[in-house]
Chains A and B, each alone.
Chain A
Amino acid sequence: MNNKKQGGSGTLMKVGLASLLMTVGAHNVLAGEEVSGGSLFGDMQTVTQDLLDRAAGDSNNFLHTNANYEQTRFYPAQQVNRENVHNLERAWTFKMDVVDSLETTPIVINGTMFVTSSFNHVYALDAKTGKQKWHYEHEMGLITTYCCGPNNRGVAALDDMVYMGTLDARLVALDAKTGKKMWDVEIADPELGYSETMSPTIVNGKVLIGTNGGEYGIRGFVKAFDAKTGALLWTFHSIPEDSTGVWAENDATGLYMHRDIKAEKAALKKLGDPYKTLGGGVWQNMAIDRDANRAYFVVGNPSPDLYGAVRPGDNLYTNSLVAVDLDSGEKICHFQYIAHDVWDLDAVSPPILVPVKNEDGQTVKGVLHGGKTGYVYVHNASDCSLIRYSEPMVMQRDRWVLPTKEGASMLPGANGGVEWSPMATDPSQGLVYAANIHQPMTYHVEETPYPGGKLWLGGAFKVITDQQQWGNITAVDYNTGKIKWKVKTHQPMIGGVLATAGGLVFAGEGNGLFKAYNSTSGELMWQDQTEAGVNAPPASYNVDGEQYVVVGSGGNAQMNYTRGNEIIAYKLNKK
């Protein structure tokens, strides 16, 4: 923890090949090996709070999973742009040890990249060459409980440490220079259904992390840990002890949800408040408003997913946008999209903080969220209230028909719309870019009591296999809610988007294609065929005056896209 660097970055660059080879020979470059005076391939720059704060304007580093505290996924570098993107070529490819679902976002600090794979491996790479500096493999506990693949979405950094949440629900702090584990604390009990796949968010010396488990009857939370010691500082329960709410009959778009509120009220009397096993995972990063000292995040589905009779009420704060105070973890405001959800159309994709026009045309602090419903929701950040929602980005059919025993069909299917895939924005154009899924499903309900930490769906979701599936990238004008452009893809989209000041939007597909679009028109400008599904959010950075775009090609468990293990970095071929 007190690994203060010795000397400036210059001294360490001069280590030289001979001593480097010696070090390699002597120590086999194992994780946890201390390298005298810094790292093997140069120095790491300490990640200060100031650096984290200024990430939105930093065109060298990529310091947050979603680019900056506002989570705009807008990268300010423009070296790679519409004029030259056709010259984008592979700079290097790094193969990780685990071939499985890949949802990681690499972060890059002063030429060093930190990237994770399924089953919680962490790699530090030279961002210029893709050469490995160290590799850390988490020693997994025997009990893990996760849904939808053994994913990990990346690390967060502060000072000389990087932090990762694990499938066995622990928070691990590593020395960024060596990969040596500094400490490791339990976040929650994996036997009860808790697990971690999100990358943490770090602010003011606090490591913020939520939890998975909405499919297991957990009680969701966001916890804040002390970045130095791992001590728990506060817990926000995403399910309050009174979870009943206002008995809302319509969803956020005003559509009737067919709730039997009389029956629910009777059940509430009989069963009491279901808060202890109500789910409500928070499994994507929070947007941070540094001025207002708030965190904004979305809360996932209630448990069990499809069977609502055992959980009467609105099931607060499932399927909601929530803001909490960063010092205390206390709730400031919330907005629920779907009360008493029985379709698993939960709020997942990370919220974005941008200035938006309100109903009166005034610019206010806004929050954007892309729903599994296929709508972009635009909120007023001050009180979480809804300003507007967009035109639907995917086909809607029979929305909110209730699940049945035999299976009721409804569009969108339970994966969305917008799944966990982070959206990107281009504030100069007032556009937000969302990766969408069209996947027809039937929703089956079955009476199911709490199975004690086991998978608890209360029925089944089934893809209708003889109906076509597809995806799209949709650009929405968040000041009007109108769709500016939409590009259809062959397969449902999962993985996320990056926009850049070069006028480009990057996104990958399940068939292994990684593409760049013109961010104003949606015109396809470049693509590369990789060997596995590109279902991880892209990132970008700069080393020695060259801009790189990097993405994971490892497929996806949930959508069953071809698995792989590659991290691929691209840069311009200057010839």
Chain B
Amino acid sequence: MITSKSLLLMLTALMIFSNEVIAEAERAAPEASAEIGEQDKYASIRENLKTCFTCHGDNGQSKLGTFPILAGQEFYYMYVQLKDMKTGLRESQVMGPIVANIEKADLKLLAMFFSEQKWPETSYEINAKQSARGQRVIDEGGCTACHLATLKGNSRIPRLANQHPEYLKNTMHDFRNEVRNNAPAMASLLKTYTDEDIDAIANYLGSFKE
């Protein structure tokens, strides 16, 4: 379950930003459909994309901490997440209803679209001490064996480097609390870490630059 706190945050964010964000999304839409004229392989998802942009930012370059950056995230990872949120294996009160009515083929296109966008520049407020501890935890935890030395992931392994720390923290807790059940091995591993470790990991990951 999404914690009530983060849900509240999200709703507030939506209320405050939705008008502006939607307006922006509409402005961005023509650009996103630049391929029209040739043959728009994304034609079937153009409408969906506008919805996605309201939370995940233009082209998935999210600026809000609870909404993960999708722009430049790995295609196969995102496709798997969308499928898992549809089946409920990854329980998400926000995303669940959104993907419920989207066909698998379109989920694939959505993942493809976002994977082709550019990961945004980020600048988070980082607690240096926690970040240093996070680096140690990640080095010792063997995270780079799968997420790669750059922590930018590959295929079914997600990019972690400079993803929103707030989102990372939420999802790591969801792994531990068995809300996110689509990656049992990640969950088992994170269960061996404390809350402080998780704060530290999120801080360190946020300290990466593009």
Contacts and interface: CB of A to CB of B under 8 A. Distances in A.
B145 A454 contact: no
B185 A100 contact: no
Contacts of B155: 142-145
A454 B149 contact: no
Given A446-B184, A451-B184, A460 B145 contact: no
Contact of B192 (A100, A144, A444): A444
B144 interface: yes
Interface stretch (A55-63, A146-154, A372-380): A146-154
A455 B186 contact: yes
A147 B155 CA distance: 12
B103 to A, nearest CB: 19
A36 interface: no
B188 interface: yes
A560 B185 contact: no
A149 B145 contact: yes
A560 B184 contact: no
A446 B189 CA distance: 10
A456 B145 contact: no
Grouping DSSP codes into helix (H, G, I), strand (E, B) and loop, the B interface class, with mixed when no group exceeds half, is helix
Nearest to B137: A465
B178 to A, nearest CB: 11
Given A145-B156, A448-B184, A460 B75 contact: no
A104 B183 CA distance: 30
Contacts of B192: 407, 444, 460, 462
B146 interface: yes
Interface string A534-565: 00000000000000000000010110100100
Contacts of A149: 145, 148
A446 B188 CA distance: 7
B188 A460 contact: yes
Interface in A439-474: 444, 446, 448, 451, 454-460, 462-463, 465
A454 B184 contact: yes
Contact of B182 (A142, A407, A454, A460): A454
Interface string A391-407: 00000000000000001
B148 A456 contact: no
A549 to B, nearest CB: 27
Contacts of A555: 149
B148 A457 contact: no
A147 B146 contact: yes
Nearest to B184: A448
A458 B186 CA distance: 10
A142 B111 CA distance: 12
B184 A456 contact: yes
Given A145-B156, A463-B142, A560-B144, A100 B149 contact: yes
Contacts of B186: 455
Interface residues of A, number: 32
Interface string A212-240: 00010000000000000000000000000
Nearest to A446: B188
Given A142-B76, A456-B185, A465 B148 contact: no
Nearest to A563: B149
A448 B188 contact: yes
Nearest to A454: B183
Interface string B145-173: 11011000011100000000000000000
B58 to A, nearest CB: 24
A377 B197 CA distance: 41
Contacts of A215: 185
A459 B185 CA distance: 6
B76 A558 contact: no
B75 A459 contact: no
Interface in A397-454: 407, 444, 446, 448, 451, 454
A150 B188 contact: no
B140 interface: yes
Nearest to A442: B192
B145 A148 contact: yes
A144 B156 contact: yes
Given A144-B155, A150-B148, 18 more contacts: A100-B148, A142-B76, A143-B76, A143-B155, A144-B156, A148-B146, A150-B154, A215-B185, A444-B191, A448-B184, A448-B185, A455-B183, A456-B184, A459-B188, A462-B141, A465-B140, A557-B145, A557-B149
11 contacts: A100-B148, A143-B155, A144-B154, A145-B156, A147-B145, A448-B184, A454-B183, A462-B141, A557-B149, A560-B142, A563-B149
What are the 7 tightest A-B residue pairs by CB atom distance, in nearest-first order?
A455-B185, A144-B155, A460-B188, A460-B189, A457-B185, A465-B140, A448-B184
Interface of B: 75-76, 139-142, 144-146, 148-149, 154-156, 182-186, 188-189, 191-192
Interface of A: 99-101, 142-145, 147-150, 215, 407, 444, 446, 448, 451, 454-460, 462-463, 465, 555, 557-558, 560, 563
